[in-house]
Amino acid sequence: AQMEQTFIAIKPDGVQRGLISEIVSRFERKGFKLVAIKVVVPSKEFAQKHYHDLKERPFFNGLCDFLSSGPVIAMVWEGEGVIKYGRKLIGATDPQKSEPGTIRGDLAVVVGRNIIHGSDGPETAKDEINLWFKPEDLHQFRYLIKSGMS
């Protein structure tokens, strides 16, 4: 069976603020494995596909404009429980409600600039990985040192 994978993206505000390494580091130090990463400026149409579940919400248009406003770091992270625990590392959608110690809790202030995206469940993880990456972009490898990671 394929190890669990999730889609994580650093949004344009996170990139602009120089938070790429900070965010990658939190997933990496936890013990999750980075199996795909790229820099991409999504078109507005692509952003609308990514956020299609939210198309009836009043903030949808602004959200899609924002996601397509500059470079995004698109990633696939792998590991046991990575979908659910990834959301835990990220924190609540509204940074005012995110706990300290989470990415949004520590690094963001407002919901419209919450710096990171993470898939919210197994189905969306699969859909989002397929939307952003080709299968051959996902690399399979093993860590060669003893660390508890596989």
Q: Given CA atoms 47, 129, 126, 93 in this order, what sign does their dihedral have?
A: negative
Q: Does 137 bind ligand DAT (CB under 6 A)?
A: no
Interactions with Mg ion, residue window 106-145 (CB under 5 A) = 120
Q: Which of 55, 59, 65, 150 binds ligand DAT (CB under 6 A)?
A: 59
For Mg ion, the nearest residue by Cβ is 120
Shortest Å distance, C-beta 120 to ligand DAT:
5
Cα 96 to Cα 14, 66, 110, 111, 128: the distances in Å are: 17, 20, 7, 8, 26
Q: Which is nearer to ligand DAT, 36 or 102 (CB)?
A: 102
Q: Which is nearer to Mg ion, 28 or 120 (CB)?
A: 120
- Token pair belonging to 89: 């590392």
Q: Does 114 bind ligand DAT (CB under 6 A)?
A: yes
Shortest Å distance, C-beta 146 to ligand DAT:
35
Sole window of 1-9, 30-38, 74-82, 112-120 interacting with ligand DAT (rule: CB under 6 A):
112-120
Angle at 108 between CA 25 and CA 33, to 5 degrees: 20
Angle at 60 between CA 114 and CA 128, to 5 degrees: 70
Rounding to the nearest 10 degrees, give the CA dihedral for residues 4, 141, 90, 74. Answer: -100
Q: Is 50 part of the annotated catalytic residue set?
A: no
Distance in angstroms (rounded) separating the CA atoms of residues 92 and 144 = 35
Cα 69 to Cα 21, 41, 64, 92: the distances in Å are: 20, 7, 9, 23
Q: Does 143 bind ligand DAT (CB under 6 A)?
A: no
State the residues that interact with ligand DAT by CB under 6 A.
54, 59, 63, 93, 111-112, 114, 117, 120
Catalytic residue numbers?
Answer: 117
Which residues form the interface with Mg ion (CB under 5 A)?
A: 120
